[in-house]
Structure formats: C-alpha cells, structure tokens
A = this chain, B = another copy of it.
C-alpha cells in the first residue's frame, strides 16, 4: 500500500505554495482595504460584467450564500452595482470599483511576479500547463 510522505508529496507542496500565496496576497491587499475573496470577486466581475451571483460563486470557489453576503459588503462600499431585469440579479463594477480593481490587480500581479521570480518565461508556462493538467485529471470522477 502506497503511503504519503510529507517531504516528497506534490499535494503538500501544492498546499504550502497556495498558503504562502494567499498570505502574501492578504498582506498586499490589506492597504487597499480588500480581502482575498473580495479581490477575486472584483477581478472576475471586471473580466465578465453582468455575471450572475451563482456564476460568480463558482469562479471564486465559494457557495452562492457566501458570495451573496460578500456582494452585500461590496455594494455597501459602492464598489459593485446590481442591475437586473428578470429574477436573476446581474452585477457589475461601479466607477469606484473599476478604479480600485486596477490598483488591486497590479498589487496581486506584483505578488505573483515575486512568486515566479525564480522561473523563466518558458518554465512559467510549463508550470501553468502542469497545474491545469492536474486539475483536469482530478475533474474526471
């Protein structure tokens, strides 16, 4: 029976890296008054305006309920606006939100650049490709 070794396990390395990245992102976003889920929400909202609550939740990897109250806070801060015609509310960034996401995205890009500072461009693409292959392999139930 195969076992798991903490030192050689790719899964543990993945968790370590993900945790370090999240910690660095939190520190980077704190001056802007944003948490990581809030930033993720704004980022996706910037890329896909008019998205619904449920689709947004899937993009940030949280439940619809969590996204719901997350959006409540962002609307309170006047960073996102809700404009829906039917039953489903469609959200988009306010001008204030658009200004903030530019700075936040740059801050996160700097963190990501620091994380990848030891890798060349070809190695970065290789890492990205490997990660997506792993995600795809886990997706097949």
A10 close to B128 (CB less than 8 A): yes
B119 close to A133 (CB less than 8 A): yes
- Evaluate whether A135 and B43 lie within 8 angstroms (CB atoms) in the complex, with A106-B2, A108-B4 already known: no
Cβ of A136 under 8 Å from chain B: yes
The CA of A128 and the CA of B113, in the complex, are separated in Å by 19
Q: Is the interface of A mostly helix, strand, loop or mixed?
A: helix
A-to-B contact residues, CB < 8 Å? 1-6, 8-11, 13-21, 23-25, 43-44, 47, 59, 61, 102, 105-106, 108-119, 123-124, 126-128, 130-139
B135 close to A16 (CB less than 8 A): yes
29 residue pairs A–B, Cβ–Cβ below 8 Å = A3-B105, A3-B109, A4-B112, A6-B43, A6-B47, A9-B112, A10-B128, A11-B25, A11-B112, A13-B131, A14-B14, A14-B17, A14-B21, A16-B131, A16-B135, A17-B131, A17-B132, A17-B134, A20-B135, A20-B138, A20-B139, A23-B138, A115-B134, A115-B137, A116-B137, A118-B134, A118-B136, A127-B130, A127-B131
> How far is the CB of A117 from the nearest CB of chain B, in Å?
5
Q: Which of A2, A18, A44, A124 has the most CB of B within 10 A?
A: A18
